[in-house]
Structure 1
Amino acid sequence: MTGQGSEGTFCLVLHSHLPWLAHHGAWPVGEEWLYQAWAHSYLPVVDLLRRFADEGREDVLTLGVTPVLAAQLDDPYCLRGLHDWLGNWQLRAHGAARGLPDLAAREHRASRWALEEFETRWRHGFSPLLRSLVDSRVVELLGGPAAHPFQPLLDERLRAFALRTGLDDTQRRIGTRPEGIWAPECAYAPGMEAGYAAAGVRRFVVDGPSLRGQTWAGRTVGDSDVVCFGRDLEVSYRVWSPKVGYPGDPAYRDFHTYDHPSGLKPSRVTGVHVDPRDKKPYDPDLAAAAVRRHAEDFVDVVVARLRSLRERHGRALVVAAYDTELYGHWWHEGPAWLEAVLRALPEAGVRVTTLRGAVEAGHVAGPVEIPPSSWGAGKDWHTWHGPQVSDIVHGNAEVQRELLELDLSGPVRDPVADQAVREALLSLSSDWAFMVTKDSAADYARYRAKVHADRFAELAALCRTGRGSTGRGHERAAELRRVDGPFGHLDARSL
């Protein structure tokens, strides 16, 4: 075994996020999206972290959980929905037994484990589990602004409100306030660090090109003490990039090919251009061998990168960051690969820690000026501000203008005003523009942006005319809150 940390420091950051999906359709997007990610990513990744905690390991990885996702993972409606979904998964496995016995047996075992895990540990929501992971220091938690807006396109007043609301929400759920955030879409505009400092945020993540590839240390931003960490694309893209990565290996389970009678996935990738009808059956032994091969390759890549950085800069830090949903949902074998890597890196002499741990170890240089940037295509803002989404950009600007013109003051909380702000935040989610630009359920995304904007406009009109204080106004606000109800502590007066 190589000396602990002799090769350098590695930080894995997982960003967990889905937009508000509860009560907004089921298939092919909507609640089905939530339940698939929950069953196939959140359950196994949290199980992995819990086992590391039981072993006494600390600072294993940095876990971002957006407030809007946390709200769904604690929501009684969503908890009941997942329980039903897991039971249906097991029934689908039983239904496949006659025609696909091997697949049915695997899916039965997987669904049984998921049901037991959910019923044993998750029935009271995610927050109790997350709090135990944070309190044991196995993870550092990153928070974020409410409803995951594209912050550079927000008015500064609304940007501060969304961030404060999101951090407050996380503190209420787990008892501590995150010191770091995952900035939605890694989006940055010059000066945002001042707002972060005012909110108590001490560190955040940007994409590597935002630091012109100089990701070998955290950097203080501008004249602030806020530290940004850049995603090392040379290492991160080894796992997943816009074009290549381990999940595309022929041995791994194919995400896109279904047995339509059961809805289960019987095939392996086989080849990039292979027709679904010609894909070969999934073989768990072949997949397990690929996991071992790719874990070894990733460790070799990290060690080589750290050695190169140390030669050039005298210090060595690699930050690799991914969506949590890659592990298990999109890449079936991802959780197994994740565990293999997190166990193998220390054996190879790499110190595995969190962004907090990197700061404590002195991996901070400074200062740096960051240009307008994101982790989207082209590393700029066009995914959220380009011509394909001009209608959404215009609609978002109108929502912001109307919201900031409302008189939200008053001696007591107003449920109509609170719900109006809640609908405005949901309409401003960055997900809708992203889905349109990427042509991924674009009609659904446009509908979601519009329906929340329309609901906001309806409630705003009630506030302006004084009809929000009537019984009908309160009834309408309560009706909408039953379907769009995250951030129950939200007080419109604080805007």
Structure 2
Amino acid sequence: MMEGKTFSTLKISSLKKEFPAMNNESVGAFALVLHSHIPFVRKAGEWPFGEEWLYEGLMETYIPLLDIIYDLLEEGIKAKFAISITPVLMEQLNDQYLLSRFEHFMDKEIERADRDARKFSSRKDYAYERLAIFYRTIFSKVKKSYYERYQRDLLSAFRKLQNENCIEVLCSTATHGYLPLLKCDSSIYAQVKIGIETYRKYFGKRPRGFWLPECGYRPEYYFEEAGKKYYKPALDEFLVEQGVEYFICDTHALEGMETYSAEKRIGPYGEVKAPKIECERKSRGTSFLPYFLKSGCAVFSRNKETGLQVWSGEWGYPGDGNYREFHKKDSDSGLQYWRITDRKIDLGLKQIYVPENTVLKINENADHFNHLVEDLLLNFRKRNGQYGIVVSPYDTELFGHWWFEGIFWLKEVVKKIYLNPNVKAMTLSEYFTCSNPVEVIDLPESSWGNGGKHYVWYNSETEWFWPYIYEAEKLMESAVKKYTHSKGVSRGLLNQAARELLLLQSSDWPFLVTTGQAKEYATQRFLLHYQRFRNLIGILEKSEFGQKEINYLQEIEDIDNLFPEIDYYLFSSKEKE
């Protein structure tokens, strides 16, 4: 970082530096980025919506992911993943109530597999019995890793990997607020600031890289209200203020091409049904290089080709007929015993899953991906003569949860790229430190959602959310100004109101409505946090607090207990004329 200077005051030539040889032969770098996020679900329902989202993430993705990274490290291979963990997820991974509930969940999953094994054995359905035993073995391994390998402390396991330069952990906003649509600068500032502070609490240092939720970005602009004109800083200016050096945008924001349709993706994005939306057409650069913005913050861009190979439900790897079918579940246990077979056939026609038949396919897909990355870098080197980077971001939960075999595929990809002399696996910070970005660009309003802008979070089904959020933002700023030096119960009310505002701003609520995954649940959660916020502000304005009001505050503090060190003053007005 160049403190006290912006790129408008620097000569570009002064920023040039030589890119050191990564090894004797590699022609480019590869960075796999995994974005990890679960909304705040503590004491907010269990099944089918609520806490089990977290428990499934732990059981099917986060612990298996740690296992493969540590397994690779024992083989002498550093994965070099960049893994973003949202602060709201960090808090949940450190919550003893949730961890104890997860431990019970693991036991229940093992019991379910046991019951299924006995059920299938009694029916002489031996192929299904073998699958039930297969699941029991996997679940037991996860449980063993959780207790013995990681000592119930997954954040420490990630921190150790980062300290050993095996992975890089990226930061994100406090509750995954969708920043481009927030109205008040105080909210953006608080989302970023609390995110950074939470990261420092768990990882012992400031983050260099930042994941903007949904890759949502907006540039600077001027806003008029009540006859006054206000300057609204670009989102990267908030990041630079906190010492962040770079973030990631979607492909089309940089290369100007059309986004690939969300309808073609696997996972939760695959449920989005939207009209065709015109997106950014102007080309500003290539996704093979990072660029600076005038704030001094740098931006990497998602590679389209490698993204499609994993995200696409039509012709990406996860759609192979041998892989496990996500959507068909046993009516008793909920376990999945069938394979995709054919994407176009009815669930009733799906055939039994055979794990042994996926081994060669996983290897084949990993090999294809390895050569795809190599070819992309070789072609870029031939065209531009530069040492480029392929940046491949995905939702972490895609691997293991949505795409069951994805965890094993990741491990094979790391091995193959490690052995490929033409490709160097690197974290984003490693590449950024050694690269020579010299060009300053502007970046358009964009996201990685359907259509490349804000449709997923602002449409006919979700537009009613935003007036509630804007009202709460203004009320919070007014309360901070009125009760600047609050102590005791008043301070507690303001701090809890700040937590409720952060939870209200979570991008998950409009997302779950738009995708149809949990429309009613998301609506209820949104209105619940709004009501809690208004109740807390209402109590504050009474000035006199009886035991009833104190009990209510304590009840909400116990439920929505994230960010214990929060300071409501972060929400003081930041607008500048």
Distance (whole Å) between structure 2 residues aligned to residue 56 and residue 347 of structure 1: 12
For residues 48 and 357 of structure 1, the distance between their equivalents in structure 2, rounded to whole angstroms, comes to 22
Q: What is the alpha-carbon distance in structure 2 between the residues aligned to residue 53 and residue 470 of structure 1?
A: 57
Q: Report what 1:45 is aligned to.
A: 65
- Residue 228 of structure 1, CA deviation: 0.7
Match of 1:119 in 2: 147
1:428 corresponds, among 499, 505, 515, to 505
Q: Secondary structure at the match of 1:489?
A: coil
Q: Which residue of 2 aligns with 1:103?
A: 131
CA pair 363-277 structure 1, distance change in 2 beyond 3 A: farther
Q: CA deviation at 1:460?
A: 1.0
| TM-score for both structures, normalised by structure 1 | 0.96
Matches within 5 A, 1:110-259: 110-154=138-182, 155-190=184-219, 191-212=234-255, 214-221=286-293, 223-241=294-312, 243-259=314-330
Query: Hey, what does 1:472 align to over in structure 2?
Result: 548
Q: Is the 8 A contact 2:189 2:570 kept in 1?
A: no
Task: Name the CA distance, whole Å, in 1 between partners of 2:448 and 2:438.
Answer: 22
**C-alpha distance after superposition, 1:35-93 (max 9, x if no partner):** 11110000111112223344554561101000011111111111011111110011001
What SS does the aligned partner of 2:445 have? coil
Residue 125 of structure 1, CA deviation: 2.9
Structure 1 residues 76, 362: CA separation in 2 closer, same or farther (over 3 Å shift)?
same
Structure 1 residue runs of 4+, over 6 Å off?
A: none
**Structure 1 residue 297 and structure 2 residue 373: aligned?**
no
Residue 384 of structure 1: how far off its partner (Å): 1.3
Q: Deviations over 1:336-374 (max 9, x none)?
A: 100100110132221000110111221534211110000
Counterpart residue identity of residue 477, structure 1: L
- Taking the aligned partners of 2:564 and 2:75, their CA distance within structure 1 comes to 36
Select between 378-387 and 453-462 the one with higher mean Cα deviation.
378-387
Distance 2:24 2:566 in 1: 46
For 1:58 and 1:245, the matched residues in 2 are separated by 26
TM-score, scaled relative to structure 2: 0.82
Task: For 2:450 and 2:407, locate their aligned partners in 1 and report how far apart those are by CA, in whole Å.
Answer: 26
Identity %: 30
Runs of 5+ unmatched residues, structure 1: none
Instruction: Return the letter of the residue paired with 1:194.
Output: E
The answer to whether the 8 Å contact 1:427/1:453 transfers is: yes
The corresponding residue for 2:516 is 439
Report if the CA contact (8 A) 2:172-2:210 is conserved. yes
2:440 counterpart letter in structure 1: P
Residue in structure 2 matched with residue 485 of structure 1 by the alignment: 561
Conserved in 2, the CA contact under 8 Å of 1:416 and 1:474?
A: no
SS in 2 for 1:238: helix
Does structure 1 conserve the Cα–Cα contact (< 8 Å) formed by 2:77 and 2:415?
no
- The offset of 1:475, in angstroms, is 2.2
1:405 — aligned with what?
A: 478
Deviations 1:383-438 (CA, angstroms, capped at 9, x unpaired): 11222211112221122122122134215461111111101100110011111112
**Residue 430 of structure 2, aligned match among 357, 364, 369:** 357
Amino acid at match of 1:432: W
Q: Spell out, residue by residue over 1:190-237, the C-alpha distance to the aligned partner (whole angstroms, 9 max, x if none).
A: 01111111111111111111112520101111x122111100011211
Q: How many residues align?
A: 492
Counting only pairs closer than 5 Å after superposition, residues 300-339 of structure 1 correspond to structure 2 as: 300-315=371-386, 316-339=388-411
| Counterparts of 2:175 and 2:355, CA distance in 1 | 38
Q: Give 2:289's aligned amino acid.
A: A
Letter aligned with residue 497 of structure 2: A
- Cα offset, 1:382, TM superposition: 1.7
Pair 1:88 & 2:108 matched: yes
CA change 1:244–1:452 in 2 (3 A) is farther
Conserved 8 A contact 2:73-2:79: no
Please give the root-mean-square deviation of Cα atoms over the aligned residues, in Å: 1.7
Q: Which amino acid aligns with 1:209?
A: H
Distance in 2 separating the partners of 1:209 and 1:242: 20
Higher helix content, 1 or 2: 1
SS of the residue 1:383 aligns to: coil
Moved more, 20-29 or 330-339: 20-29
Measured in 1, the distance between the counterparts of 2:331 and 2:558 equals 34
Would the aligned equivalents of 2:247 and 2:299 in 1 still touch at CA under 8 Å? yes
Query: Retained in 1: the 8 A contact 2:36–2:86?
Result: yes
After TM superposition, the structure 1 stretch with the greater mean CA deviation from structure 2, 323-332 or 148-157, is 148-157
One-letter amino acid matched to 1:445: A
Matched, 1:396 2:439: no
Q: Which stretch shifts more, 200-209 or 121-130?
A: 121-130
Partners of 1:424 and 1:452 within 8 A in 2: yes
Contact 2:146–2:152 (Cα < 8 Å) also in 1: no
CA shift in 2, pair 1:365/1:338, >3 Å: farther
**What residue in structure 2 maps to residue 79 of structure 1?**
99
Letter in 1 for 2:327: H
Gaps of 5+ in 2: 1-21, 121-127, 220-233, 257-285, 572-577
Verify the 8 A CA contact 1:186 1:375 in the aligned structure 2.
Answer: yes
Q: Report the counterpart of residue 266 of structure 1 in structure 2.
A: 337
Cα gap change, 1:242 to 1:151, in 2 (>3 Å): farther
